[in-house]
Amino acid sequence: MAVYKLFPDKDSFIFTEVPTANAGYDEMLELGSYPVLDVGQTSRFLIHFSDKEIADVIDNKIGNTNFSASLNVKLATAYETPASHSVHAYPVFQYWDGGVGKYGDLPTDKSGCTWRFATAQNTNSWILPHNAVSMSSGVTGSYNDTFPGGGNYYTGSGGYNLHTSQSFETNDNLDLNIDVTNGTLLHYTGSLLNNGFIVKFDDDMEFSLTSSIKHKYYSGDTNTIYAPTLDIKWDDSSYVTGSLSVLTSAQSVINLTNNKGTYPDLDKQRFRFLARPKYPTRTFTTSSIFKTNYALPSQSYWGLKDEYTEEMVIPFDTTYTKISCDSTGPYFDLWMSGLQPERYYRILVKTELDGATTVINNDATFKVVRNG
């Protein structure tokens, strides 16, 4: 599998409306900018992925540092979305506690990070630019006189640009898919302590007095399939056709040959295809012409869809989901441990035949079961 999904071990959103309230166990992560009693408010969110799990993917599944990483967070609801805006992500400078609070808890929960404090029980204030003596080079935080706090974060370190963003225009899909490759690499090498990432709106969009902008995203505590992920991607493809002919006709049959139907969430599975013309040319041979395998075109890709929701869990990607080929035929590898267990998935193939792009959906489904 050239796309491996890691799930967060903690996340929380922090908000000025109640600057000492924790929301680390809320089902939502919020980005907001809105007024309350003529005072501009804002909300941001923090998210963290395990050092051990990041290292396991890079060391044991990729074997090198030639990868990309993106923060993938699904939108639940959006109110008063501006026509044009950006969302920004930075590695967090300071350690923070996730907590078990929820938005609106009474009494206010203080078990983790808040707008004003990084750690539980309102201890350890966020270190901010106005007390920069405690800050490292390349670290900042947007200080607000009314609401001191809001996290701190790296903009750059060791020649790496650590500020990344995603821009949106009217009618764009508002799901987040932000490149965090540099931050993930420096977390892996230990050049930066892994305190996760902070996600926020543009500085000049926060603390609005005229708009009530609220974007709510699914958190790691959601009871849906839409939990946020760190998607680590690499090219694991190999294309050697050997003596195989390359399939060219749109009148073709492309089927999986070794789908067991059920897999534990522990292993890597190699899925193999039988690809052949639907109406093969008859030849004098001792074997069935219907069992002769072909290579798929080199521009062929696999994708993975959730069978129930029909959401693309792993979309087609021209770099990271290429279908490989060896002397036996076409194949790809999939790490089951990077998928949510107790769900059914469908394998799709995208290729070019007879000069036209086509997507093959042959009901190739399987289930991932927890711990086998």
Q: Residue 130's pLDDT is what?
A: 58
Percent of the chain scoring above 90 in pLDDT? 84
CA nearest 87: which of 189, 163, 5?
163
> Can you give the pLDDT at residue 29?
98
In the prediction, which pLDDT does 282 show? 63
The predicted structure's pLDDT at residue 2: 87
If one compares 267 and 6, the residue with the highest pLDDT of the two is 6
Domain-wise residue ranges, the chain: 3-233, 252-369
Confidence class for position 236, pLDDT limits 50, 70, 90: very high
pLDDT category at 128 given cuts 50, 70, 90 is: confident
249 closest CA partner among 351, 330, 353: 353
The region of weakest confidence among 129-143, 173-187, 237-251 is 129-143
Please determine, for residue 180, whether its predicted confidence score (pLDDT) is greater than 90.
Answer: yes
∠ CA 128-95-189, rounded to 5°? 110
**What is the mean pLDDT of the segment spanning 174-179?**
97
- Computed over every residue of the chain, the mean pLDDT equals 92
- The encoded tokens of residue 191 equal 């050049």
In sequence order, the 6+-apart residues with CB closer than 8 A to the CB of 353 are 247, 248, 249, 250, 252, 297
Q: How many CA atoms lie within 13 A of 335 on its CB side?
A: 19
CATH architecture of 252-369: Sandwich (2.60)
Give residue-wise pLDDT tens across range 277-319: 988 666 655 555 557 899 999 999 999 999 999 999 999 999 9
The whole-number average pLDDT for the span 138-142 is 73
Averaged pLDDT, 131-136:
56
3-state secondary structure at position 199? strand
Q: Radius of gyration over alpha carbons of the chain, in Å?
A: 24
